[in-house]
Structure 1
């Protein structure tokens, strides 16, 4: 199982010094990947429940750095680790601009980018960027089609009711083909992942829920004539570290308890986990200490 870390991006960790230090130290301790998320704002009266915990948006999300800039800095201070997003809200960005930003990061990192995309959950954020909440799944599919055309055609020509890319040269291209991971838990999202992605971005959850969802992804891949064995499952874990006997893994618990769950998840099919410790660590050194402890417990 590969092990990654969410790099400093939000809350008390939203600083260049934290980002550079943690990215460099994570690579030095032998971690495999660094990850960012995508959050625009914290509505005072949100229309939608946050998909985690008690449904309230974490206070720490009130300060959130741009994911493209964070990945660019992480690329500049590392040389080996993969760089991923879990997940960019794909519908917020016009495809040519999204393709350019991701290609730039892939080039700056010598081909180390893992592209992770999702639909997001906040209709408030969609309204803020002027993108309709309705028909977002269709917009998502069209965005994926446009990215494929921009990255893998020369010249590029793409048109639908949303965007028109006249026959054009769009350079540079990514280094090879960046792996594409898609997030989501609905039946439609799982079907889409199996049909057109390289893997699934999931979250820590009871294995009794995780395994049937993964089986659904694999069945979708088979139905689409794709090899389900080629797909990868990447899990985000953002636990609260507590004292012994006070937690409920995978949401909370000691490092050993959370690691026990993650090792079970790996046995159930998870290929890579990455830890987001920004909601539980008190400072950079504490975050790195926890990351090291997890690495020693994970197999």
Structure 2
């Protein structure tokens, strides 16, 4: 079982390059950071996790690709990933270039976790109607994959174009979100895996995901429980389901808060 970690990287938290070094030294496989471009003050949308107030780290989140460049530069083997990238809120040409550059410079260590977003006003500020966010995210991921994989790429929204550097290998794309036919259809069509947040309910969802992949004529998608609170029993349970990787949630805080938790998780890595 490969074990990675994720933390809200912010201007107040442990520097991401220090966390990356500490994670690699302790044998972790990967480091993921999330994305929020901004948080509108109106707060029309209630917090997705049901909190009374949105935690402060949401409005202080670092740009994930810039942060991961520091993580990659500070390490040798640690995989670096977005968990998650809000693809509907990003220009696909610019984002494809940034991800390809990061993968090229890191020696092929990039993983792209993608989400559709839950904050209505944040999404709408990017000119994307909330009801179209899945459609836009799909379009943008497919456009990025074309730019990564094709020497001359053409897609809806841009004419035949060159774009280098190419990634070492096309970075794996995993979709985050709750189990359901819409999500599993997206995964089967254009992603490599599913990142269920928290990791609950996976066993019951696996048959539907497998069926969606079979209908698409492709192998079973990878399943990566994300933001979980790991225990030896939980990791053994995941392994029994055929899962090979899990990502543990770290608190967003300074080193004296983060490192003791990282040490506890390291005993399970």
TM-score of the aligned structures, taking structure 2 as reference length: 0.90
Tell me the residue number matched to 1:249.
none
Distance 1:175 1:55, change over 3 A: farther
Instruction: Measure how far apart 1:118 and its partner are.
Output: 1.2
Per-residue CA shift, 1:144-166, capped at 9, x if unaligned?
A: 2212221111212222xxx2x22
Q: Any conservation in 2 of the 1:27–1:80 contact (CA below 8 Å)?
A: yes
2:241 maps to 1:296? no
Tell me the residue number matched to 2:171.
178
Tell me the residue number matched to 1:264.
237
Distance 1:97 1:216, change over 3 A: same
Tell me the residue number matched to 1:62.
59
**Separation in structure 1 between the aligned mates of residue 50 and residue 244 of structure 2, nearest angstrom:** 25
> 2:130 is paired with a residue of what secondary structure?
coil
**Separation in structure 1 between the aligned mates of residue 186 and residue 244 of structure 2, nearest angstrom:** 19
Q: Any conservation in 1 of the 2:175–2:191 contact (CA below 8 Å)?
A: yes
Q: RMSD in angstroms over aligned alpha carbons?
A: 2.1
Tell me the residue number matched to 1:245.
none
Per-residue CA shift, 1:164-192, capped at 9, x if unaligned?
A: x2222111111122111111224201221
TM-score of the aligned structures, taking structure 1 as reference length: 0.82
Identify unmatched segments of 5+ residues in structure 2: none
**Separation in structure 1 between the aligned mates of residue 39 and residue 203 of structure 2, nearest angstrom:** 32
Identify unmatched segments of 5+ residues in structure 1: 240-254
Q: How many residues align?
A: 268
Q: Any conservation in 2 of the 1:11–1:61 contact (CA below 8 Å)?
A: no
Q: Any conservation in 2 of the 1:238–1:277 contact (CA below 8 Å)?
A: no
Tell me the residue number matched to 1:222.
214
Q: Any conservation in 1 of the 2:8–2:61 contact (CA below 8 Å)?
A: no
**Separation in structure 1 between the aligned mates of residue 17 and residue 161 of structure 2, nearest angstrom:** 37
Tell me the residue number matched to 1:252.
none
